[in-house]
Homo-oligomer: A and B are copies of this chain.
Amino acid sequence: MSVLTLQDAVRRAEAGMARAAELGVDMNIAIVDAGGHLLHFVRMDQAWLGSIDIALKKARTAALFRMPTAAIGRISQPGGPCYGIEATNDGLVSFGGGLPIIDGHGRTAGAIGVSGGDVQQDTLVAEACLAAA
């Protein structure tokens, strides 16, 4: 299991905040380690308070399942194969904005969770965090 450093997390969050500023939306950005434990968090000044928990849970969800949160959403709909999965693990988030950080050996080093805009905006900011390796 690769280790994500605080320095790395700060750099990723800064890239995400720069992208959020371009989009004109204040975001919450959470970065967790491979075990889903919080490493770094920033709330931009006008971001929704209700998005703090969503960002935290998106990051944790993406780490615990080593996949984007949107992939969980594709199986968790009513009638879908994993309907209700959000109620496990003290609460998961199954819409976009959470992305795992995969290292060069295919191992999950941690995950990013972004919340504050619409799902497309959240995903763009999470992708900016991911690209800032």
A interface residue numbers (CB < 8 A to B): 1, 3, 5-6, 10, 33-45, 48-54, 57, 61, 63-66, 73, 76-79, 81-96, 118-119
Could you tell me if A87 and B88 are in contact, using CB atoms closer than 8 angstroms?
A: no
> What B residues does A79 contact at CB under 8 A?
77
Determine which of B38, B44, B54, B85 lies in contact with A88 in the assembled complex, contact meaning CB atoms within 8 Å: B54
Which of B39, B45, B82, B119 is A119 in contact with, Cβ under 8 Å?
A: B82
Closest Cβ of chain B: how far from A28's Cβ, in Å?
8
Contacts of A65 in B (CB 8 A): 48-51
A95 in complex: contacting residue of B82, B89, B95, B119, CB < 8 Å:
B82
**Nearest CB on B from A46, distance (A):** 9
Complex: A91 Cα to B5 Cα, angstroms: 27
